[in-house]
Every structure is written in C-alpha cells, then in structure tokens.
Amino acid sequence: MLYSLNTLAIKNFRPRIQKSTKRTLLTSPVKASIDTAERALVIKPRDMALALLEEMAADLDGKWGGGEITASAYDAAWVAMVRDPYNPQQLAFPDSLKWLLIHQAMDGKWGDLFPYTLVSTLAALLALLKAPEQTEQICYGAKQAEAYLQHALCQWPAKEQESINIEILVLNLLRELEKLGVAFEFPKKDELLQLSSQRLLIDNPKLIYNGQSNLISSLEAFAPFLDFKRLKQQQLKNGSYGCSSAATAAVLIYSPEWDSAAAEWLIYLSNRAFDDTTGAVPTAYPIDTFEGAWVLYNLAQGGFNLNKDFPQPLLQKLVRSLQDSLTHQGVSFNCALGEIFTNSDNTGIVMAALNKVGVEIPRDYLVHFDRLNYFACYDQQKGTSVSANAHVLAALLSLSDSARSNLLTNITGVVNLLYSLRDSRGFWEDKNHLSPFYATACAVMAIAEHEEFSLRYKLQPTIEWVLQTQSTSDGGWGYGARSTLEETAYALQILQSVPDLVELSDHRAYKRAIHRGIGYLWQHFDEFSANYDIKLPKLWRYKELYVPVRVVYSAVVGVMHRFGV
C-alpha cells in the first residue's frame, strides 16, 4: 500500500517492489523530526506523483483489474459464511472469520462510525452465529455484537442514513438473524420496512436477470429466492457478481451448484490481503477506472502537466485503461462491469481526466443521463447528485471551445443546479461522502473552470466558509471532531481553484490559511503508512464506509505541487 518516505530513502526516492508480487510500495513514513521546510527541499511532489502512477500502472491486471481500497467487515462477513463444497462442516474461507474476530471493536461493533457500523455488525454477528465451530471466542464476540446492536438500532435514524441499498441489506440481515433466534425490536423498524418496500418498487430485483438493476451488487439480500441458472448470465469475466465480495459470496452460499469462477475470484481477493491480512476483502473491486480517473484529475488540478511531467509510455498505459472503460451507456467504476452500473459521476470524471490529457471525449457518453437542466446519476434515476453534476460540468468545460459552444444550455443548467443545492453557509453536501469538503471541492473545481467571472464570483461565500472553518489549533480542516488529511487536501483544492477571487477577499488570511494547511499535510503525511496500518478515517460511503487510498493521496500530492512545495 502507499506511500510515505523514511529518512534513509529520501535521497533515492523511488518505489520499491515487495517480494510479494501483490503491488508496488513506497517506503515507510517520513519521520516527524524532519520539519516542513526540510521535507519540501528533499521530497518533491512530482516524485511522489510519479511513484503513484507507476504503482497504479503496475497494479493494472488484465484479469483481476486493480486499485487500492480498504477492507470491508460487511463483505468479509459474507465471505466467512461460505462453506467448503467438499466438507460443509468447514469454512471455505476461514481466514475471513479470523479477520473479523481480530477487528471487532471493544464495544462489540465492526466499522468506524455509527450508524455505518450497523450493516457490518449485523453481518458479522450472522457470520459468527453460523460458524461451524462455536468456540469461546466466537460466542463471546457474538454476545458483544448483539449487545451493541440492541442499543445502536434504537438510536438509528433510518431515513437519514445514506448508504448503498442500506434499507434492503439491514432488513435482510435482521430476518436471517431471526431465523437463528436473535430478534431486535427498535423504534424505526416499521419505517425500515416502508423504506425497503419503496426501494424495491423503484428497482425490482427481477431486473437483475437482464442486467438492468444495480441491485446485482447487493444480491445477497435476495439470494435465497433467486434463479441461479438465470443469474449465471450476469456473472462477469472475472468470476464475480457485480464486482461485490458479498454478492459473490452469497452465490456460493445459496446456489445449488458450486461456482468455481466465483470462488477463484474470492480466493484472489482474500490472498491479496487488503488489510495486510489474508481474508480481508473489499466492498467493491476492482476500482481501477474510478481510481485512475480521479488520480489524473487531481494531479491535473494540482498543476501537473500530465503530458510533460511524466513518461509517455506510463501515462499512455493509464490513459488506455480509461479509454477502455468507455461504453455506449457511459462509464462504470471499473472496466470489468462494462455497461453495468454506468453513471454520470464516473463518466464525467473519466471524460474530464482524459480531456485534460488531450484525449477529447465527446459529450455523447453522457446522453443517457441528460435531463436537460441537470444530469441524473444513473440512467433510470430522476434524482440529482452534487458530485455527479459537478463532474459532468468539469467534463463539459474541459471540451474544446467549439464543442462547448453547442452545450451552453447544459452548462448553464448544471451551474444553476449546483448553486441551487449549495447550503446557505456556502458549502455543498453529497451522498457519496460524509464530508462537505469533498462535495464542495468537486463543485468549486468545476465551476472555477467557467470563463464567466460573474458565475465564479458567486463562489465568494464558499471561500469565506473554507477560511472560517480552518482549525485554529492545527491548521487543518475537518467537519467532524478533528482535522483530517483528506479534508484538508479538499479545502486547499478549493482555495487553489479561485486565485482571481482572492484579491477580492482578505489576501493575507488566504496566504496564512494555505501556509498552515500545507504544514498540516506534511505533519500528518505518515497517515499514508507503508505497513498497511491505514490511519485515514473512512469518509466514503458505499455499503459501509471506505477509503480509496490512492485517490486521497493524489489530492494531497496535487495541492502540495500547486502551492510550490
């Protein structure tokens, strides 16, 4: 994993290949004894960016794909429930159960932050109760998990939680636990039933069979009732179902026939050891398209000239990977999915990244999401998303002048939409991320590309919000209880995008904020640990919270480069 440097490696900063062929790593963290000025002299952001791109290129695999993402307790729990096809009294992936036991928190939960701990803890409890051998450790862990859930479910604001298919997943897990004699009663249970029914009216599980439903990534919630012969045609070339560890594990659990290709994919993920422990699996994999587009976009926003600052063979390998992700239906988060899960968010960021490299991608790939005055995230969706529309705007504004001239209605519509969704205090929020700094950075970086000054000027309240929310104690930014490396990078991305507006505000405060923010990044840079002890808080939403590590790293390196570190 990424990514830092130690004092022995500073003079010869190069990535190193571990004996494990799993991936390329940078060396261990920079020692805190090296002050900010000294680090800036010996460690260049360009070197860090180059090593990052080399690592990504080496990680691209024709069969399995690539990407660096944190492990998921929810998915590990489903993998831990798969039984050996030749001996049903044994687990097929016992290391996943071991990983769960090691990573249970003292209060009985799995995961980092309530209420996002609920789905992972429910799944882990189910895995422990279904374990073929009920050891003392497993029984104790189950009791702790049950006690945590009894209290936590009573505090759950079901309607307010934004996670992928959360209402369906939780309801299914509750039903499975009831079959084992564990029932939970809580105030929002009826509300959960209503939310689940509403969700299934919008997206019928039967559409999974013809590839028209995103629920394939959550088929574990319907697995006992699926026709696996019909489902087989939706299996991807890598052996997975929806590139989801939990969904693929559910096929192995419930299908009357053992699926060797699905098992092989899970074996690969388990051995890849996403938490540096065999048995740890991610919630979605691969993420190479999503990761590659974001990294190139962040580096370009950081002032890198992608074509001049990096070797062409290296850049072209990454560019070809992104080009391969383009389908008539748009882009998904990896090439393996093809036309499944295509959305305007990924399509927009891929287009913006490729356009910045000089490979112009026409608007045609966004046509399925066009709703005239905004872009839906998914083809069958009518709702809006801040990050999706921000990335669409970035894509449209990255086109040539002649191409943009025919899209003025779309561009104006998206800009107006984004401003209409901005909070009165100056920031944006989005369902894909816990922090408003993420959504705000997405929106600002896109709007800042617009040539009309009056539209950029409307970002003034956002700049003031960023300056006002900087921590007075450590110089970082964070919407929670403390500053974080990731959110500080986003805050600096916002400030770097609007230099022409700074003269209209307090220039001295702006400079001071940047200086303190960069100092925070250097001070906390060792959170990108090379020993797999990821210290970054999980702020990205999916079935549970996660971190796309290289994406966050590229944001940090980009702002360091932009501000001349």
pLDDT of res. 382: 57
- Give one word for 279, left, alpha or beta, with left for phi > 0 and alpha for psi -120 to 50: left
Output the pLDDT for position 34. Answer: 39
State whether the Cα torsion 381-386-391-397 is positive or negative: positive
Burial 222-260 (b: 16+ CB within 10 A, else e): bbeebeeeebeebbbebbbbbbbbbbbbbbbbebeeebe
Q: CB–CB of 27/6 below 8 Å?
A: yes
Using one digit for the tens of pLDDT, what is the confidence trace for 133-150? 999 999 999 999 999 999
**Helix, strand, coil share (%) of the chain residues, nearest 5:** 55, 5, 40
CA 532 to chain centre: 17
3-state secondary structure 344-362: HHHHHHHHHHHHHHCCCCC
Task: Give the model's confidence band at 28: pLDDT under 50 very low, under 70 low, under 90 confident, else very high.
Answer: very low
Specify whether the CB–CB gap between 161 and 153 falls below 8 A.
Answer: no
Instruction: State the pLDDT at residue 243.
Output: 94
In angstroms, how far is CA 25 from the centroid of its own chain? 20
Evaluate if residue 21 carries a pLDDT over 50.
no
Structurally, what CATH architecture does the domain formed by 16-63+285-562 represent? Alpha/alpha barrel (1.50)
Nearest to 148 by CA among 170, 121, 167: 121
The burial of 209, by beta-carbon neighbours within 10 Å (0-12 exposed, 13-18 middle, 19 or more buried), is given as middle
| Rounded CA separation 258/229 (Å) | 12
- Domain ranges in the chain? 16-63+285-562, 73-272
Predicted confidence band at 9 (pLDDT cuts at 50, 70, 90)? very low
Residue 528 is predicted with a pLDDT of 76
pLDDT for res 95: 97
The pLDDT, as a whole number, for residue 163 is: 63
pLDDT in tens, 212-224: 777 889 999 988 8
pTM as predicted = 0.90
pLDDT recorded at residue 154: 92
Mean pLDDT of all residues in 37-54: 78
Secondary structure (DSSP) of 227-293: -HHHHGGG--TTS-STT-HHHHHHHHHH-SS--HHHHHHHHHHHHH-TTSSTT---SS---HHHHHH
**Burial class of 390 by CB neighbour count within 10 A (0 to 12, 13 to 18, 19+):** buried
> Which of 158-172, 180-194, 373-387, 435-449 is predicted with the least confidence, judged by mean pLDDT?
158-172
75-79, 200-204, 310-314: least confident range: 200-204
| Of 219 and 43, more confident | 219
Q: Which residue has the higher pLDDT, 287 or 5?
A: 287
pLDDT value at position 480? 86
pLDDT at 230 over 50: yes
Out of 158-172, 323-337, 454-468, pick the least confident. 158-172
Asked: is 73-272 a CATH 1.50.10.160 domain? The reply is yes
What is the pLDDT, as a whole number, of residue 8?
26
Structure tokens belonging to residue 192: 């959960």
DSSP 8-state assignment for residue 480 = S
Please say if the pLDDT value at position 36 is more than 60: no
CB 93 within 8 A of CB 270: yes
Q: Tell which wins on pLDDT, 75 or 37.
A: 75
| Confidence band, pLDDT 50/70/90 cuts, at residue 24 | very low
Mean pLDDT, rounded, of the chain: 87
pLDDT of residue 203: 64
| pLDDT, tens only, 490-525 | 999 999 998 888 765 577 888 899 999 999 998 998
pLDDT tens across 301-325, in order?
999 999 999 999 999 999 999 999 9
Mean pLDDT of 236-254: 96
Query: What integer pLDDT is reported at residue 188 of this predicted model?
Result: 82
Across the range 88-96, mean pLDDT stands at 97
What pLDDT score was predicted for residue 191?
Answer: 82
Task: Give counts: helices (H), strands (E), the chain.
Answer: 25, 4
How is 63-100 classified by DSSP, letter by letter? TT----B---HHHHHHHTTPEETTEEEEES-HHHHHHH
Are 493 and 555 within 8 A, CB to CB?
A: yes
Average pLDDT estimate for 100-113? 95
Same fold flag, 16-63+285-562 and 73-272: yes
Taking the C-alpha atoms of residue 527 and residue 30, their distance in angstroms, rounded to an integer, is: 10
